[in-house]
Amino acid sequence: MWEYKEGDFIKDLSNENIIHIKKDNVEYLQFKKLNKYSDILTHCFTLRELDFKGFNDYKENKDFITENYNKICNALDLKYEYICRPNQTHTKNVKCVYEGDEGIYLDKFKNVDALVTNKKNKALVLAFADCMPLVFFDPIKKVIANTHSGWRGTLKRISEETVKCMIKEYNSNPENIICLIGPTIRKCHFEVDKDVKDLFYNEFKNLENIDNYITKQNEKEKYNIDAVQINKQMLLDLGLKQKNIIDSKICTVCNKDKIHSYRADKENSGRNIMLICLK
């Protein structure tokens, strides 16, 4: 297991969209766009020195995981009791969070991969290890969402389902919704066999530029898929504005020294979390 050592905070992942923060021996990323709304919300994507593991590891590692939740909550000036954490299973299921829904792995959030709320002090938390984090914010209606879109979730169009929930349940206008795409496996490392390629092509063949997003490697029955661009195009087709879709531009596999990656570490992989919370 990776352990923090003095001197490990060297590599900086900041770019034009992301700021890499190092606070109280904790590292995390924030979107510059969302930091403009820091008076009404907070958010982060955690890095490798914190590990939140998965559902099957929670009972055995509860104290360790709770300690890591407390570390990031303290860094963000949040209470641990605000956390709302579903049991993710690569579905397209989206649930709204109301008063009394705080907790880790509540039964009502079993098999849920996206959370939406307009309630304050509800820290929407999902875990990732290469899968795509998408957080959404409607600054007009004061609505937030957190979405887990792995390759299965992308095929099921869970990012679309999240936006549709914001529209239906909270009267959001897509033109006002901001979407932030966190660190995820990128086309450079998202290599698949023909069976998965066919699933993507059949689902998204009518998407603009799909032939640029799914490409064949030379002389091999291997393909590379740009799931980030596929999700961006789906959101644009729903009415989101290009300027409101902000990409972290960070590949988890390329940065496996700083970010948990299942593709790199297999069964030994830890989990990063994306968190967003209205104040």
Render pLDDT for 98-153 as a digit per residue (tens, 0 to 9): 999 999 999 999 999 999 999 999 999 999 999 999 999 999 999 999 999 999 99
Task: Kindly indicate the confidence band of residue 10, based on its pLDDT and cuts at 50, 70 and 90.
Answer: low
Handedness of CA 199, 205, 207, 211 (dihedral sign): positive
Q: Are 138 and 166 in contact (CB under 8 A)?
A: yes
**Residue 239: in which H helix or E strand, if any?**
none
CB-side neighbour CA atoms (13 Å) of 67: 7
Alpha-carbon gap, residue 169 to 163, rounded angstroms: 10
Identify the structural domains of the chain with CATH numbers, from first to last: 18-185+242-278 (3.60.140.10)
Looking at residues 41-60, what average pLDDT do you find?
93
Alpha-carbon gap, residue 241 to 249, rounded angstroms: 18
Task: Kindly indicate the confidence band of residue 25, based on its pLDDT and cuts at 50, 70 and 90.
Answer: confident
pTM: 0.95
pLDDT of residue 2: 37
pLDDT of residue 177: 98
- Report whether pLDDT(4) > 70: no
Alpha-carbon gap, residue 138 to 61, rounded angstroms: 35
Share of the chain above pLDDT 70, in %: 96
Render pLDDT for 164-175 as a digit per residue (tens, 0 to 9): 999 999 999 999
The rounded mean pLDDT for the chain is: 95
From 12-16, 121-125, 215-219, 251-255, the region with the lowest mean pLDDT: 215-219
